[in-house]
Structure 1
Amino acid sequence: MKKVSIGGVPEHFNLAWYLTLKNGEYKSKDINLRWYDYFGGTGAMCKALRNGDIDMAVILTEGIVKDIIEGNPSKIVQTFVSSPLIWGIHVAADSKYEVVEDLPGQKAAISRYGSGSHLMAYINAKNNGWDLNQDLNFEVVQNLDGAIRALTEQRADYFMWERFTTKPIVDDGIFRHIGNCPTPWPCFVIAVRNEFIKNNKKELETILDIINNTTNDFKNIPSIDRTISNRYEQDIQDVREWLSLTEWSQEIIDRPTLQMVQNELFDLKIINKTADYESLTYTI
């Protein structure tokens, strides 16, 4: 049986992986797929791909594009979620900051440099006309728990994280939600190490076939809203809203979209060069 390791954030976007693993669908095809939660998000997964700790990752588009350009030996093989990620902008519940316009020059909590929370702080700053050199400051907090501590202890002033994942923390009176910042592109892709692609094309194709069969019909799974609500401790009305806004994909990211991602990152000086489509993607 071929052992394959995959990483992703432990969030509702990735429930389809849990369901297919629970059903033994990979083992029935002689593949021992092992899922690893990465609470540190994109930056942690980029490091794991580089080190060979995992073979595959379900990862934020902008983060893996940046890291492949900077030498990560991986390729994007498919878009996983085609809708934007809605990043909530949060402050501590007792913070003096009331609106996003209060935040220029204040300190953003980020999981790590090069992470989604880091890159999206730039997108948010650009959207609001901030000075990208003067108005952005960062405090590295590793993960969501670290952000809670940093904002509560006033070591950071605001934190951007997926809106619905963070909603229970808002409901508990720890964070206050003051705005949103959607990604301008499909939010999650599947990235695979080049070495794995080269040596395991058949297994990779089988894995994608299995997950795509599930995501293609994900919203029609009986009581899927209740399953998500119970597993991720989210209000069922929030889950239903999230389901209405979220679309999965079974296709590779297209050239214009990938170029748009790169152009945006280049304009923000997050990357210092762009790459051709073939060096960033692999078509199964």
Structure 2
Amino acid sequence: MTQKLQDKQLDLAIALTEGLVAGINKGQDWYKIVGTYVDSPLCWAISTGKQSKHSSIDSLHKSNVGISRLGSGSHIMAYVLADQQGWHSEEPFTFNVLNNFKAMRDAVNDGSSDVFMWETFTTKPYHDSGEVMRIGQITPPWPAFMFAAHTDLLKQPETIQSALQAIQKATELFMQQKDDESIQRVMDILDYTEEDVRSWFKIVHYAPDHLSISQRALEVTTSTLLKAKVIEQPGNPTEDLCDKQVARFIE
């Protein structure tokens, strides 16, 4: 997504908060964060193999975690888990880079990884089928998705504000129609069951003001990325990550 911003294939993007924060801190200076799309956190399922010795989160300290790539959400969530469990050793896990979701599922069953973390509803069909075993979940302390704009577009703050306000109206309509059109639309696009879609609607929450950004959320995200060694010591998160001409900052 950020590569498409760099190539100017996109002017405005919606992407995972941790990815946007990491990118800017690693020198991707062609975009800034300009607003919040989904302010509820993404829920990640914690999964092991069907014959795993790990049946609860408590036993995972120092285990081997299967991840898609270093710096990915599947990698960063391990450090969120370590923080929440109070595992403060320098290296709470070892990691097995596996590139894709199927390889991560295979690895916990062949024993080359102990556990992996992946978005709950994407993983649920494999829990339901018994391919992998769910032992818990983890939610990071930051909003799931934020808006980022190419720096060229930042010269037109009114354009960004108009676009985000239009998206705001669309998300409000989407939620208002959830019992009529929206549930069926998600089922059709993602091939989820009605039960799963209804469960998803209970936990997802769109930001009531897409032009707002939580300064605290950026600070917590940055702190976790530092612990995961995804980034080096950054400057001021608010000043470096966001554009104040467009967004409004909240605590």
- TM superposition score category, shorter chain reference: 0.7 to 0.9
**Match status 1:138 vs 2:95:** yes
Aligned ranges 1:23-172 → 2 under 5 Å? 45-50=1-6, 52=8, 54-73=10-29, 74-172=31-129
Q: Which amino acid aligns with 1:280?
A: L
TM-score where L is the length of structure 1: 0.74
- Residue 223 (structure 1) shift: 3.1
Distance in 1, Cα, partners of 2:98 & 2:7: 22
Q: Which amino acid aligns with 1:65?
A: V
- Residue 140 (structure 1) shift: 1.8
The alpha-carbon distance between structure 1 residues 169 and 266, as it changes in their structure 2 partners (threshold 3 A), is same
**Match status 1:224 vs 2:185:** no
Distance in 1, Cα, partners of 2:153 & 2:110: 43
Tell me what 1:41 maps to.
Answer: none
Contact 1:263 1:274 in 2 (8 A): no
CA RMSD across the alignment = 2.4
The alpha-carbon distance between structure 1 residues 106 and 78, as it changes in their structure 2 partners (threshold 3 A), is same
- 2:138 aligns to what SS in structure 1? strand
Q: How many residues align?
A: 239
The alpha-carbon distance between structure 1 residues 211 and 75, as it changes in their structure 2 partners (threshold 3 A), is same
Moved more, 111-120 or 232-241: 232-241
1:170-198: per-residue Cα shift (whole Å, max 9, x none)? 11211211011111111111122223434
- Residue 267 (structure 1) shift: 5.3
Q: Which amino acid aligns with 2:170?
A: T
Distance in 2, Cα, partners of 1:268 & 1:119: 6
Tell me what 2:217 maps to.
Answer: 257
- 1:256 aligns to what SS in structure 2? helix
Contact 1:63 1:119 in 2 (8 A): no
Contact 1:126 1:132 in 2 (8 A): no
- 1:117 aligns to what SS in structure 2? helix
**Match status 1:278 vs 2:234:** no
Q: Which amino acid aligns with 2:216?
A: P
- 1:216 aligns to what SS in structure 2? helix
TM-score where L is the length of structure 2: 0.83
Q: Which amino acid aligns with 2:65?
A: A
Moved more, 221-230 or 202-211: 202-211
Q: Which of the numbers 242, 257, 272 marks the counterpart of 2:200?
A: 242
Q: Which amino acid aligns with 1:271?
A: I
Tell me what 1:197 maps to.
Answer: 154
Moved more, 187-196 or 108-117: 187-196
Identity between Structure 1 and Structure 2 (%) = 32
- Residue 145 (structure 1) shift: 2.7
